[in-house]
Amino acid sequence: MNSDDSLLKTVSVTMRFGGLTALDDVTYSVKKGEVRGIIGPNGAGKTTLFNVITGELKPTSGKIFLRGEEITHLTPHIICQKGLSRTFQLTFIFPEMTVYDSIWVGVNSRARRPWNPIILAHHTADLSQKTQEICQLVGLEEKMNELASNLSFGDQKILEIAMALSTEPSLLLLDEPTQGVSPKETDNILKVIEKLSKNMTVILIEHSMDVVLRLCHTITVLNEGRVAAEGSPDQISKNEEVQRVYLGEIS
Amino acid sequence: MEFEKVGEKRTTLHYFAITFLLLLVVMGILLPKGARSLVTHMMIFSILAMGYDVCFGLTNQCSLGHSVFFGAGAYGAIFSILHLKVGILPSIFFSMGAGLLLSLVVGLISVRLSEAYFVIITAIFFAVFHLLAMDMTWLTGGDDGLSIKLPSISLGPETISLYNPLVNYYFVLIFLAVSYLILNRIARSPIGKIFVSIRENEKRVQFLGYNVFRYKLIAFIISGLFSALSGGLYALTLRYGSADFFSFHWSIMPVVWCLIGGLGTLAGSWIGVVIMSLFQYYVSAWWTYYLILFGIIILLILRISRKGILGYVISRRLT
């Protein structure tokens, strides 16, 4: 079952909240290097799928594998240490910390020597370097010393991505990275994601069809907790089922 | 790349603390006897305040159970001197050991709980320990307490005695300075950053690969350790300890000190201690219900700046 080459695989994952079935028998797999999109109307279970994968929620039934290793019952911090990182739909940052420090904390987590009380945090050269590289990669190097809460909303979304990157994940889950952001900043964020997706496996939840069509190789449509369709951007935009459940409803 | 703002903020705090400590060194000689004893008490409270700040200010765990560690520290020192006949310095080890043990136990049980439940369960710990201390008079002396005779400390050929108020003053000052240097170092080390990020957004820290429970527990224990040190020094200074050391006063005062001075600033809480102690000393003399007035002042300070006095000063400097 888990001996194929998929990086992430969910097998018949079902998640129920009382009488509500948020995910219904979702079997989903992502290969290394892919850029995957997940779309679907509100309440389709997109974020729930992320929550289940990252260990925030335990599925009612079903199994999740990362590189063939089962991670269904691990806690979020262990799953993160195994190379899976995510962003959050609502900005979920450290408001009273600087951009630099916010990213540094993740870099430090990856370095696996997180709690030496003797050294000063800013004196660890390798971590410092790594932090600055990430700042440059996402284009926040000018704002390294700003408090996170003082950033524009778009920059906060970028910081969100940078923080997820700081743990050097092999699989990055992005939960609506452009939601509520101005068109100009959206373009910025998309450029960052495009840059990342060249050497990283990315799963992207999006509301905007344009974004997904631009970035993703394969798109999965969720509806009412089920996989309604899966295919290339072309196939998806022509799929009648998709037009009915998703495009039709939005426009 | 320089980290100007962050650096400046830290240096401002650090300069403030160092100036404060130097001032205390000089004041020890200059102050009249009564005031010196008051300042000695303030310094002891400052250690408790800083210790508490690690818990509340750095990791956002609003504990109401720190009187447990304060009291444990006091009795750790008293019991070790009474029953084990140890010297002053070993008795402080015992006092911190008692704090370590209790904060480990209380922490393991309570740190996992989310905010409101954490507050309640730590308050329950306070209540249980206070009642136990009041009831077990054969052990603790209850309300009347236990008095101790202090052994003298030998420094090479010289011996000094804490009965001398001046010695007592500098003895406490050394502990305050060392505690500050240690805690400041911890706050600026990687683990300090992790503490602050937990304060800012606990769940996110989890998704950065940290075992949040472990770090909250470490912060809680560090906090308990220094609270116990404070309790031990207080018992040694008063040469006395009673069940009152477990009373709610010692749980709630650290919260007040830290809020007034500025959460997460360590040295800021000293300002809280000074204001509160002076207030208590002078105003309580002419008005029994001085705490009402004090409550209003706290509200005013927090109305002006949620970050307390020192937090306010720093944020003004930054903008």
Segment B260-274 shows an average pLDDT of: 91
CB pairs under 8 A between A and B: 112
Question: Which residues of A fall within a CB distance of 8 Å from B201?
Answer: 92-95
A125 and A133 Cβ atoms separated by less than 8 Å: no
Between the CA of residue B255 and those of A66, A139, B52, B88, what are the distances in Å? 45, 41, 8, 29
Place of tokens 């240096």: B11
Between the CA of residue B34 and those of B27, B37, B148, what are the distances in Å? 13, 5, 22
Report d(CA B286, CA B280) in Å as an integer.
Answer: 10
Q: What are phi and psi of A3, to 5 degrees?
A: -95, 0
| pLDDT (0 to 100) of residue B7 | 53
Cβ–Cβ of B209/A106 closer than 8 Å?
yes
**A35-39 and A201-205: which strand pairing?**
parallel
Report residue B49 as tokens: 């305040």
The residue of chain B nearest to residue A51, with distances taken between CA atoms, is B207
- The mean pLDDT value of chain B amounts to 90
Burial of B282 (0-12, 13-18, 19+ CB in 10 A): exposed
Chain A interface includes B203 (CB < 8 A) = yes
Between the CA of residue A108 and those of A81, A102, B31, B191, what are the distances in Å? 12, 10, 47, 10
Question: Which residues of B fall within a CB distance of 8 Å from A108?
Answer: 190, 193-194
| pLDDT (0 to 100) of residue B126 | 96
Task: Tell me the nearest-neighbour CA distance from B65 into chain A, angstroms.
Answer: 25
Radius of gyration of chain A, Cα coordinates, nearest whole angstrom: 18
Report residue B61 as tokens: 């765990």
| pLDDT (0 to 100) of residue B157 | 78
Segment B293-314 shows an average pLDDT of: 84
Cβ–Cβ of B194/A54 closer than 8 Å?
no
Cβ–Cβ of A94/B207 closer than 8 Å?
no
- Residues B138-165: pLDDT tens digits? 989 888 999 999 888 877 777 888 889 9
The interaxial angle of helices B212-238 and B66-83, nearest 10 deg, is 50
Cβ–Cβ of B6/A96 closer than 8 Å?
no
Report d(CA A58, CA A61) in Å as an integer.
Answer: 8
Q: What residue spans define the domains of chain A?
A: 1-83+171-251, 97-168
Report d(CA A42, CA B118) in Å as an integer.
Answer: 35
| pLDDT (0 to 100) of residue B143 | 87
pTM: 0.91
Report d(CA B204, CA A55) in Å as an integer.
Answer: 13
Chain A interface includes B193 (CB < 8 A) = yes
**B146-147 and B240-241: which strand pairing?**
antiparallel
Other Cβ atoms within 10 Å of B316 Cβ, number: 9
Q: How many domains does chain B have?
A: 1
> What's chain B's length in residues?
319
Q: What are phi and psi of A14, to 5 degrees?
A: -125, 135
Other Cβ atoms within 10 Å of A81 Cβ, number: 18
Question: Which residues of B fall within a CB distance of 8 Å from A149?
Answer: none
CATH topology of domain A1-83+171-251: Rossmann fold (3.40.50)
Residue range of the domain that includes B196: 4-318
Question: Which residues of B fall within a CB distance of 8 Å from A119?
Answer: 189-190
Amino acid identity, position B261: G
- Residues B34-93: pLDDT tens digits? 899 999 999 999 999 999 999 999 999 999 999 999 999 999 999 999 999 999 999 999
| ipTM, two decimals | 0.89
- Residues B173-208: pLDDT tens digits? 999 999 999 999 898 888 888 999 999 999 999 999
| pLDDT (0 to 100) of residue B182 | 94
- Which CATH number goes with the domain that contains B292? 1.10.3470
A197 and A173 Cβ atoms separated by less than 8 Å: no
Report residue B171 as tokens: 């003895």
Residues of chain A below pLDDT 50: 1-2, 250-251
Cβ–Cβ of B197/A166 closer than 8 Å?
no
Cβ–Cβ of B210/A98 closer than 8 Å?
no
Residue B3 scores a pLDDT above 80: no
Task: Tell me the nearest-neighbour CA distance from B88 into chain A, angstroms.
Answer: 28
Question: Which residues of B fall within a CB distance of 8 Å from A104?
Answer: 193
Q: What are phi and psi of B305, to 5 degrees?
A: -145, 125
Residue B29 scores a pLDDT above 60: yes
